[in-house]
Chains A and B, each alone.
Chain A
Amino acid sequence: MLEVSAHIARDDFSFEVAFSSDARITCLFGRSGAGKTTVAELVAGLIRPVRGRVLLDGEVLLDTDTGVSVPVWKRRIGYVFQDARLFPHMTVRDNLLYGPRRSGDLHPALDQVVALLGLESLLERRPGALSGGEARRVAIGRALLTRPCLLILDEPLAGLDGARRGDILPWLDRLAREGPPILYISHAVEEVARLADRVVLVGEGRAVGAEPPDAAFDRPEAEAAAGLSAPLSILDGRVTAHDPARNATRIDLAGTAFLAPLLDVAPGDRLRVVVDARDVALALTDPVDASFQNRLPMQVAALDVRPDGVLVRLEAGELRLKALITRQAREQLALAPGRRVIALVKATAAARYA
């Protein structure tokens, strides 16, 4: 459980931080320069706020009112910096064992961490001889070996090309399942959509409230922060079956069957599907002869009139879906809260993020 409330003042900006989260992965999400790293540095103790409190699992790390300030080296927060910051005069192995040696940990989980992050072949190398992706993996391992109560990952994928991202993404998924709670900094909507359990929006001098991704992305400021041109629906589901012959994967989304393009995810595994609200059409009767592979009976929950159209919020049991339509379409269908409609989603419009 991470609880942060603080007022930060710097030369050029001031900043209000207030959120608490006990999620496995909490994302600090916002544009570059919004202050995401500042929030992380506050949690790690690398900067001091004018006033504020930081609690981790109930332990007070900082309280300016009572004068408590646990120094960085005692906080047990693993910080993976964007630039890795490996120690250039040590081998990868000595980098990894740096933390355990400081704390007198005689039985560091070196083998597990090396296996978790695939570092076997790197152990005797020097940091100067590592690629960007390798260096970041080593930095993650180095932080993990301190047995942190919280792991901060600062844009672990930024600046890496596609192949190098592939070096890290699978390890991040494993880390999310097997590692400590993570505070994940990112400005990329696909990373946040893929990984986050809770999202803290950072921008306009604020980092307030940790919400589920679907709720966080529902906010206008999230659209601005992510550079989104339309709202997204973020749907958690489970793979039920594959149909390679038809190039399709069946997914169970909160009790509703959903068809997506063939995915490389084992049946039974959890995954997250993201649907752009512009890719959802609505019909009053089921158009059985149309190509839409997902025709979901839903109910209109609410209507938001926006400059770019009408955002229709739909629900069916636990499933929530957003559709962005024109005002003209709304009039034609006479949409109002409570109205039953069929939501039409092409299988190919379902972007898969996990």
Chain B
Amino acid sequence: MIALSPEEQQIIGLSLKVAATATLFSLPPGVALAWLLSRYSFPGKALLSGLTHLPLILPPVVTGYALLLLFGRNGPLGRLLEPIGIVFAFDWTGAALAAAVMGFPLLVRAVRLSFDMVDPRIERAAETLGARPFVRFLTITLPLALPGVAAGAVLAFAKALGEFGATITFVASIPGETRTLPLAIYSLTQVPGGEAAVLRLVLISVGVSIGALVLSEWGARAVARRVGGTR
């Protein structure tokens, strides 16, 4: 393989940073929400579930535009967060936010499914052994579902790596700041004679995505084995 140019390195580095940040910050709320949806029934549950999945079906441009309205310099949340030093507009953190929102449904879905696989009767048993609900979650439910949580995180990470529409709408395509892998590919297709560079980036992108998928599949199988108690 031919060595990566400094520009490619920077694009990949930024993409990984954006995707990792997006995944890391969406994990805690994603796991909490998945737990809620898996174990409790409450009024408005269907609505909450629907809202969670909304970014999956909305045109990404619409999601990006909603983010722009909310978190832009003049958006209500943007203005609220600016004094405490959190700025999303035209910043790499904005790209991470867009990626997190787009990957969130995939994360919640995978984690929820793995929570569903954990037998609530085993959790009851933990309770009779003196585990309060939060401890029970940490010692029984989460460990049993952990490979599924990992699978969800990998999926969200892969989605974040490939996120395009919401990102370009929300934070544009600023080299070195918000121009992630897909945005860079798109920019290069707009330049005459960029085919070779496009092909290189496409191959890199395909490789990273397949790797993520394989990892998530492995995670899903591992959770089944763990719950079965054979390893």
Indicate if the CB atoms of B230 and A87 lie closer than 8 Å.
Answer: no
Question: Taking A81-B121, A87-B140, A98-B139 as contacts, is the C-beta distance between A72 and B229 under 8 angstroms?
Answer: no
Q: A77-127: which have CB < 8 Å to B?
A: 77-79, 81, 83, 85-89, 98-99, 102-103, 126-127
Q: What residues of B have a CB within 8 angstroms of the CB of A143 in the complex?
A: 128-129
Indicate if the CB atoms of B130 and A88 lie closer than 8 Å.
Answer: no
Q: A36-62: which have CB < 8 Å to B?
A: 44, 46
Indicate if the CB atoms of A102 and B229 lie closer than 8 Å.
Answer: no
Q: What residues of B have a CB within 8 angstroms of the CB of A75 in the complex?
A: 128
Indicate if the CB atoms of B125 and A81 lie closer than 8 Å.
Answer: yes
What count of chain B residues pass the 8 Å CB interface test?
A: 25
Contact with B129, one of A83, A127, A146 (Cβ below 8 angstroms): A146
Indicate if the CB atoms of B128 and A73 lie closer than 8 Å.
Answer: yes
Q: Kindly report which residue of chain B lies nearest to residue A102, judged by CB atoms.
A: B130
Q: B190-231: which have CB < 8 Å to A?
A: 226-231
> How many angstroms from the CA of A75 to the CA of B126 in the assembled complex?
13
Contact with A102, one of B119, B121, B129, B133 (Cβ below 8 angstroms): B129
> How many angstroms from the CA of A87 to the CA of B143 in the assembled complex?
10
Indicate if the CB atoms of A102 and B128 lie closer than 8 Å.
Answer: no
Contact with A146, one of B121, B130, B132 (Cβ below 8 angstroms): B130
Contact with A87, one of B126, B128, B130 (Cβ below 8 angstroms): B126
B124 within 8 A of A: yes
Q: What residues of A have a CB within 8 angstroms of the CB of B168 in the complex?
A: none
> How many angstroms from the CA of A72 to the CA of B129 in the assembled complex?
9
Q: What residues of A have a CB within 8 angstroms of the CB of B127 in the complex?
A: 46, 71-73
Q: How far is the CB of B228 from chain A (nearest CB, A)?
A: 6
A-to-B contact residues, CB < 8 Å: 44, 46, 71-79, 81, 83, 85-89, 98-99, 102-103, 126-129, 142-143, 146
A-B contact pairs, 25 of them (CB 8 A): A72-B127, A73-B130, A73-B132, A78-B129, A81-B121, A81-B125, A85-B119, A87-B126, A87-B140, A87-B144, A88-B144, A88-B227, A88-B228, A88-B229, A89-B226, A98-B126, A98-B129, A98-B139, A99-B129, A99-B130, A102-B130, A102-B135, A126-B229, A129-B230, A146-B129
